[in-house]
Amino acid sequence: MAAITMKNIVKKYGDGFPAVNDVSIDVQDGEFMILVGPSGCGKSTLLRMIVGLEDITDGDMVIGERRVNDLAPRERNLAMVFQNYALYPHLTVFENIAFPLRLAGASNEEVDQKVREASKTLELDEHLERKPGNLSGGQRQRVAMGRAIVRDADAFLFDEPLSNLDAKLRGQMRTEISRLQKRLGITTVYVTHDQTEAMTLGDRVAVLKRGVLQQLASPRELYTNP
């Protein structure tokens, strides 16, 4: 776990108006931070700069104690949970969760122990031999999170993970993500354009408009002082 500190972050694509314009946000250790705003406000760009998928034009990105501006994504120890979950259809749940450990050359014993521990937390222990194609949307989301957990990532990053789901499933998944995040106590940054999601999921909400941070407050404060 680690805090994520964005200091005066600027992103310019070409010579146009900055996509992200002098944004400062401090995400506390274990906090669930929402980035919300209309399409094009810069929230995905900001998330991609945290992960390292996008160069930072100006400002400091600090994770824990480290300035990470010049670090490659794999050196940042963050876990991006993608919208489509990016699971391997031909691998079992066990092997999908184990994947990052196998890549890192972990022993079978370590793989076994970590995958079982994570799958217990995620209530997936009865589904370890199944393939992603036979799982519900919620279970797939949990497999994707399991993969992040076994890596001991310092933070979870979500980019509109629920936007392709129907309203009912979206509601269930919101509850599930929120519950898991609290149980794991893992620092989380979550991008959405959905106000309901923003107001129900986050400890705090950062509201962006045309690349500028408009508000940074708890849902309660935003509700009483919109």
Residue 109: CB atoms within 10 A of its CB come to 8
User: Least distance from C-beta 210 to ligand ADP, angstroms?
Assistant: 8
Query: Is 146 or 211 the residue whose CB approaches ligand ADP more closely?
Result: 211
Query: d(Cα 139, Cα 217) in Å, to the nearest integer?
Result: 31
Query: Of 31, 82, 27, which Cα lies nearest the Cα of 50?
Result: 27
Question: Which residue's CB is nearer to ligand ADP, number 38 or number 185?
Answer: 38
CA angle 106, 151, 32 (to 5 degrees): 175
Residue from 208, 62, 209, 207 nearest 217 by CA: 207
- Shortest CB 20 distance to ligand ADP, Å: 7
Q: How far is the CB of 129 from ligand ADP (least distance, A)?
A: 34
Least distance from ligand ADP to the Cβ atom of residue 84, Å: 12
Nearer to ligand ADP, 96 or 192 (CB): 192
Residues 16, 208 contacting (CB under 8 angstroms): no
**Beta carbon of residue 11, minimum distance to ligand ADP (angstroms, whole number):** 8
State the pairing for strand pair 155-159/78-81: parallel
Shortest Å, Cβ 177 to ligand ADP: 18
On whether the CB atoms of residues 19 and 58 are closer than 8 A, the answer is: no
Report the residue number, 39 or 84, with the smaller CB distance to ligand ADP: 39
Report the distance separating Cα 158 and Cα 194, nearest Å: 13
Given the rule CB under 6 A, which residues bind ligand ADP? 13, 19, 37, 39-45
Is 50:57 a contact under the CB 8 Å cutoff? no
Please say which residue, 40 or 138, places its beta carbon nearer to ligand ADP. Answer: 40
- When the beta carbons of 43 and 151 are compared against ligand ADP, the nearer one is 43
